[in-house]
Amino acid sequence: MGMAVLTEAAAHGKQCIVGAPTYDQVRITWDEMRKAAGNVFNFRESRMEALGPNKGRVIFRSLDDPNNARGHTADIVALDEAAFCPAEAYHEVLRPMLLDTNGELWAYTTPNGFNWFHEQWSLAADREDSRAWQIPTVGARLENGRLIRVPHPLENPCVPWSEMESLAATMNPLRFRQEILAEFVAQEGQVFADFSRSRHVSSAVKFEHNLPTWVGIDFGYRTFAYVAVQSSKAQDIRVFDDAEWKNLTTQQALTRIGSMPWAQHVEMVACDPAGDGTNIQTGLSDLDLVRRAFPRAKVTFSTQVEHRKPEWRASRIRDLLWSAAGDTRLFVAPSCKNTIRMFESSVYPKHTEGHAERPEPLKDGVNDHLRDALGYLVCNALYKARAAWV
């Protein structure tokens, strides 16, 4: 939709800007527009702009730094995944720019809590010069762990209902409501509100020789943390061992892990990508030390933008704890006291009135190390192509 709006406007001589939270996301519109209008527009890759007939122009900018859009004039601004763009990009850069030209703003997005976009979306519904829509992928509602069909006139007719049922079985209810039903939901209070000792802590979780064994590691600054898990064909996660060690070097911590009776069975170790930096004293990175400690395992980390975000990782852990269909795919051994504490004690920072910042789990130096270790493991084991292992 954004590509169509921008192409038509620029073809009639309008000055346009398309923005997105990251460079990779703004490239999506760039690639789509280039395929659709490459024989009409002159695309300048180095400047990320498309020149159209009648002196029209479309400028493409990532808004992770709002200043990327400064210094331009625009008749139309289109924001892709607007709710994930920084509030200052809209309030301090784009809105003043549009006031100068009495221009238009098109903002389309998945909801992202009650942030600046929700505020503007709510205002648009009550203004004569604005319009607001809320369109689910498919018309439905969640009721007592069941997905109930409620047809919507603007739903996507190409998505089969069976696919929605499959997603409901693997996604946390809040994320399903946000990503599929286009509802504004808030992540407040506990990060893992669905965690329950009666549901998730099981004495049946023990090391088994016939299951794949994976380790997630957070190197930390003063605290080294790890979780050891196994997974069945159902792609569940069974945390059977964990530890947090303070004031140990990476080598000392790895030596301790190597002495565990299950260490020789480790097939994959998922780490913080920051561990790829070289230690000046040893000349080796933390990841180099892990590779030496586990020569038969695949040592992996992900540099994908979403995998680096604590809330993205926490959201995928929530999917395993409790899906919209009421399924559980994460279990913890009673002996893993650190992991249980992390699930029960991880919280979001207290919301400050007047601020619409995106929620990120509180980095308190107590729970974030285990949370990161488990998060690295989940995103690398379940959300990263095996061919991408390094």
Nearest-angstrom CA–CA distance, 337 and 74: 56
SS3 content of the chain, % helix, strand, coil (to 5): 35, 20, 45
Nearest-angstrom CA–CA distance, 127 and 197: 48
For position 364, what pLDDT does the model report?
A: 86
For position 355, what pLDDT does the model report?
A: 46
Q: Count how many Cα atoms sit within 13 Å of the Cα of residue 271 in the half-sphere of its side chain.
A: 26
The structural domains of the chain, with segments of one domain joined by +, span 2-124, 140-179, 197-388
Classified as helix, coil or strand, 8 is: helix
**Which run of H or of E encompasses 332?**
strand 330-332
Q: Environment class of residue 374 by beta-carbon count within 10 Å: exposed (0-12), middle (13-18) or buried (19+)?
A: buried
Indicate the class that CATH gives domain 197-388: alpha beta
Which neighbouring-strand residues pair with 201? 332
Which neighbouring-strand residues pair with 228? 215, 241
Nearest-angstrom CA–CA distance, 215 and 353: 40
Question: How many other β-carbons are positioned within 10 Å of the β-carbon of residue 138?
Answer: 20
**Distance of alpha carbon 136 from the chain centroid:** 20
The domain 2-124: what is its CATH number?
Answer: 3.40.50.300
**Which run of H or of E encompasses 237?**
strand 237-246
Tell me the C-alpha to C-alpha distance, in Å, between residue 135 and each of 35, 69, 139: 26, 29, 9
Radius of gyration of the chain (CA): 24
Nearest-angstrom CA–CA distance, 107 and 237: 38
Nearest-angstrom CA–CA distance, 256 and 252: 6
For position 388, what pLDDT does the model report?
A: 38
Question: How many other β-carbons are positioned within 10 Å of the β-carbon of residue 272?
Answer: 21
DSSP assigned state of 347? B
For position 289, what pLDDT does the model report?
A: 94
User: Structure tokens of 261?
Assistant: 């009776």
pLDDT digit string (tens) for the chain, length 390 residues: 888 888 999 999 999 999 999 999 999 999 999 998 888 999 999 999 999 989 999 999 999 999 999 999 999 999 999 999 988 999 999 999 999 899 999 999 999 888 889 889 988 878 889 999 999 999 999 887 789 999 999 999 999 999 999 999 889 888 899 999 999 887 668 899 899 988 999 999 999 999 999 999 999 878 999 999 999 877 899 999 999 999 999 999 999 999 999 999 999 999 988 877 766 556 789 999 999 999 999 999 988 888 889 999 999 999 999 998 889 999 999 999 999 999 998 988 875 544 445 578 989 888 999 999 999 999 999 887 543 333
If you search the block for the tokens 């607007």, which residue do you land on?
82
**Distance of alpha carbon 162 from the chain centroid:** 25
